[in-house]
Amino acid sequence: MSFQKAHNVSNELGEVVVQSAIKDLSNGAAISLDFPPVFKNYRVLELGFVVINDTASNNLTLEFGTTATGSEFISETAAINIAANSTGTKFSTAVGSFSFNASGGAIDSSGVPRLTSGQQVHVDVNTPASSGTEAVFFARLAPNIEYKD
């Protein structure tokens, strides 16, 4: 493989992290990660949120999908309880806080979650947190490429 081709493949393999603005988890509003990929498809490697203040809260439930009120990525989570002094704590699919929906509409035949051209990640707060804990939601994505020599 030539250096230029290797360089091009390397650039296309880079991960993308998309994040929301700061959200108050006691507010039941839906959250969109405004990154509609216009010409590429992405594998969804991780979905979650990071707590950014020290307010404790209980009973938060979420769904992650490609549409508002969708659960294509993650069906309604079990109640999430956030302890006081949790600034920087990550709740995500990578740390086992919740799991991808194996039968979701955005999961391909090999079990990999996909975000296709024009889609966005939406998070629905089904049950708001009991207090005003704040968080930033994120999606870790990798381009879905086909190697051609």
Average pLDDT, integer, range 69-96: 94
Q: Which residue has the higher pLDDT, 132 or 1?
A: 132
Q: Name the pLDDT band for 7 (thresholds 50, 70, 90).
A: very low
Percent above pLDDT 70 for the chain: 88
Average pLDDT, integer, range 95-108: 86
Domains and CATH numbers, the chain: 15-143 (2.60.120)
Average pLDDT, integer, range 12-41: 85
Indicate the average pLDDT of the chain.
86
Question: pLDDT at position 70, please?
Answer: 85
State the pTM of this model.
0.86
CA–CA distance, 40 with 119 (Å, rounded to integer):
10
Sign of CA dihedral 15, 20, 24, 28: negative
Question: With contact defined as beta carbons under 8 Å apart, do 137 and 48 qualify?
Answer: yes
H or E segment to which residue 43 belongs:
strand 42-51
Longest dimension (CA), the chain: 57
pLDDT digits (tens, 9 = 90+) for 37-73: 777 889 999 999 999 999 999 999 999 998 888 889 9
Q: Name the pLDDT band for 1 (thresholds 50, 70, 90).
A: low
Choose among 90, 20, 83: nearest CA to 54. Answer: 83
| Residue 57 burial class via C-beta count within 10 angstroms: exposed 0-12, middle 13-18, buried 19 and up | buried
CA–CA distance, 69 with 95 (Å, rounded to integer):
24
DSSP-derived 3-state class of residue 58: strand
